[in-house]
């Protein structure tokens, strides 16, 4: 019911929007598949822009045969005026971006929201300076958990398995646990699990359910290691070419979308876990028969130890190499919000 209410609110916003702009074209690139739970919210945002007078050319990475790893460059070059970018992949172009969602640092939605909100301003400054783009929205898919096609009973059992990774800090965590990270885009994971190229994958319960990962996995470890934050960025030259009224319309539309996606991430993943494991309480997703692996305090402690001993030090080294002083920036934002301190050189 909550999801329907959010979509309804966005749709009403679209229908009530006045003709704020005149004949303004906008090329939008999205990574959200039409089967994803997040898609109706995004579709409603596009409807809002269209109702306001924008001529929206809406495309999807998969439909154009593009890699999400190129998202930041595509919006930086203005191949697309607005593009959604997975922050973990953007971190390959600039490690600083990954600072808002480092593996093992913010493992629940409230702490992640505090981290993202604290980092938003410095994130946008860096994005403008280095890539000629600006932030329209930052939102998570939800807690990133393990789907395995192996008989696992704890985090220790991940050792020697091949596990899908999509951020540098996630690869560090997996190596710390004795696993072998395999870098894969979301669409590549299902066949990789099916063919044994990967033994496990990491994604949100909802994304895994809609992507039918339980068809090719048997065990679910509901231990969240991050939130898989997504960014929606606008090319700065295009943004500056808009009128004040046009910018306000775009900004309001994506702020509303961001709120809706955060609310979705905070409410639907428990149901997806129930659906993945065939529980009677499953109501929104497709029901499967995975085995739920209980998360022990020792598992949580091991991930936290990895964050302190490996993830943060590795990120600091990568970040300081291209942005001297980024440790201080992180400590003053995310670190303060999370009650943590990163120790730089």
Query: So what's the pLDDT on residue 9?
Result: 46
Query: Is residue 345 pLDDT above 80, yes or no?
Result: no
Query: So what's the pLDDT on residue 233?
Result: 98
User: Which ranges of the chain does DSSP label H, i.e. alpha helix?
Assistant: 2-16, 39-51, 61-64, 71-76, 87-90, 109-131, 168-176, 186-195, 205-210, 236-241, 244-267, 269-276, 297-306, 312-322, 326-330, 336-338
Q: Can you tell me the mean pLDDT for 149-173?
A: 94
Question: In the predicted model, what is the mean pLDDT of the chain?
Answer: 91
Of 18-27, 302-311, 320-329, minimum mean pLDDT range: 18-27
Query: Is residue 26 pLDDT above 60, yes or no?
Result: yes
Query: Is residue 20 pLDDT above 80, yes or no?
Result: no
Q: Which strands sit side by side in the sheet containing 219-221, from one edge to the other?
A: 180-183, 162-165, 200-203, 145-148, 219-221, 291-292
Q: Can you tell me the mean pLDDT for 50-59?
A: 96
Residues whose CB falls within 8 Å of the CB of residue 111, separated by 6 or more in sequence, listed in order: 337, 338
Distances, alpha carbon 340 to alpha carbons 5, 227, 297, 307, 334, in Å: 37, 18, 20, 11, 8
CA distance linking residue 54 with residue 22, whole number of Å: 7
CA distance linking residue 68 with residue 198, whole number of Å: 20
At 97-151, the pLDDT tens digits run 999 999 999 988 999 999 999 999 999 999 999 999 999 999 999 999 999 999 9
pTM of the model: 0.85
CA distance linking residue 316 with residue 344, whole number of Å: 6
Confidence at 33, pLDDT banded by 50, 70, 90: confident
Which has more confidence, 321 or 339? 321
Q: Which residues pair with 162 in a beta bridge?
A: 180
Q: What percent of the chain has pLDDT over 70?
A: 93
At 212-270, the pLDDT tens digits run 999 999 999 999 999 999 999 999 999 999 999 999 999 999 999 999 999 999 888 99
Largest separation between any pair of C-alpha atoms in the chain: 59
| Alpha-carbon 317 to chain mean position | 23
Query: Is residue 152 pLDDT above 80, yes or no?
Result: yes
Query: Is residue 169 pLDDT above 80, yes or no?
Result: yes
Query: So what's the pLDDT on residue 12?
Result: 37
**Chain length of the chain:** 345
Query: Is residue 19 pLDDT above 50, yes or no?
Result: no
Torsion sign over Cα 14, 17, 22, 26: negative
Q: What is the dihedral of CA 297, 119, 5, 254, to 10 degrees?
A: -150
Q: Can you tell me the mean pLDDT for 75-102?
A: 93
Confidence at 11, pLDDT banded by 50, 70, 90: very low
């Amino acid at each position: 019911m909550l999801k329907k209410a959010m979509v309804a609110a966005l749709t009403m916003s679209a229908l009530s929007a006045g003709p704020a702009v005149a004949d303004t074209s906008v090329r939008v690139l999205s990574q959200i598949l039409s089967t994803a739970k997040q898609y109706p919210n995004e579709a409603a945002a596009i409807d809002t822009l269209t109702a306001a007078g924008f001529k929206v050319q809406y495309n999807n990475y998969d439909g154009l045969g593009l890699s999400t790893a190129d998202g930041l460059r595509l919006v930086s070059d203005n191949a697309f005026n607005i593009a959604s970018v997975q922050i973990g992949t953007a971190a390959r172009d600039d490690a600083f971006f990954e600072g808002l969602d480092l593996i093992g640092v913010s493992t629940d939605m409230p702490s992640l929201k505090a981290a993202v909100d604290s980092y938003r301003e410095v994130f946008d400054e860096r994005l403008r300076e280095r890539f000629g783009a600006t932030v329209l929205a930052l939102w998570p898919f939800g807690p990133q958990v393990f789907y395995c096609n192996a008989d696992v009973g704890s985090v220790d059992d991940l050792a020697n398995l091949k596990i899908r990774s999509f951020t540098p800090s996630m690869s560090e965590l997996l190596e710390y646990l004795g696993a072998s990270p395999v870098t894969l885009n979301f669409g590549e994971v299902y066949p990789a699990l099916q063919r044994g190229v990967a033994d496990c994958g990491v994604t949100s319960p909802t994304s895994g359910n809609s992507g039918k990962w339980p068809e090719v996995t048997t065990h679910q470890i509901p231990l969240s290691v991050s939130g898989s934050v997504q960014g929606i960025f606008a090319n700065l030259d295009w943004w500056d070419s808009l009128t004040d009224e046009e910018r306000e319309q775009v900004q309001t539309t994506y702020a509303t979308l961001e709120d809706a996606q955060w609310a979705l991430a905070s409410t639907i993943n428990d149901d997806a876990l129930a659906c993945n494991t065939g529980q009677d309480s499953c109501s929104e997703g497709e029901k499967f028969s995975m085995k739920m692996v209980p998360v022990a305090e020792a598992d949580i402690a091991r991930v936290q130890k990895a964050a302190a001993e490996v993830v943060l030090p590795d990120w600091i080294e990568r970040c300081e190499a291209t942005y001297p002083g980024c440790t201080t920036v992180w400590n003053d934002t995310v670190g303060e919000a999370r009650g943590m301190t990163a120790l730089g050189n």
